[in-house]
Amino acid sequence: METVTVHGSGRLTVPASVRKQLGLTEGTELEIEVDMEQEALVLRRVVYLRLEDAWAYTPDHRELMERAHRDSKEGRVKRLSEEDLESLGS
């Protein structure tokens, strides 16, 4: 566990070992959340999505992906060869 100090202007310096571990470089944007229950600050990397890609993160799509993953994991998926796929098209 690393320790940081709050400087006069309210700045925190993220230790080099933590920056390296998380791949944080100058200009990396982080969002901050206050967890009053834990008396903690939670930092997360800011991720920007293009509007046309947002559908992939909707609850419905995530549910479909989880179902597909379960089906695959539980052996309910059949692999098709190129020939199988071609025969479906005719």
**3-class SS of residue 8:** coil
Give the pLDDT band of residue 1 (cuts 50, 70, 90).
confident
What span, in angstroms and rounded, lies between the C-alpha atoms of 7 and 35? 21
**3-class SS of residue 45:** strand
Q: What is the pLDDT of residues 60-83, one digit of tens each?
A: 999 999 999 999 999 999 888 999
What span, in angstroms and rounded, lies between the C-alpha atoms of 14 and 32? 13
Q: What is the pTM of this model?
A: 0.52
Map out the domains of the chain with their CATH numbers: 1-48 (2.10.260.10), 51-89 (no CATH)
Q: What is the pLDDT of residues 7-34, one digit of tens each?
A: 999 999 999 999 999 999 999 999 999 9
Helical residues (DSSP H) of the chain, grouped into ranges: 16-22, 59-73, 82-89
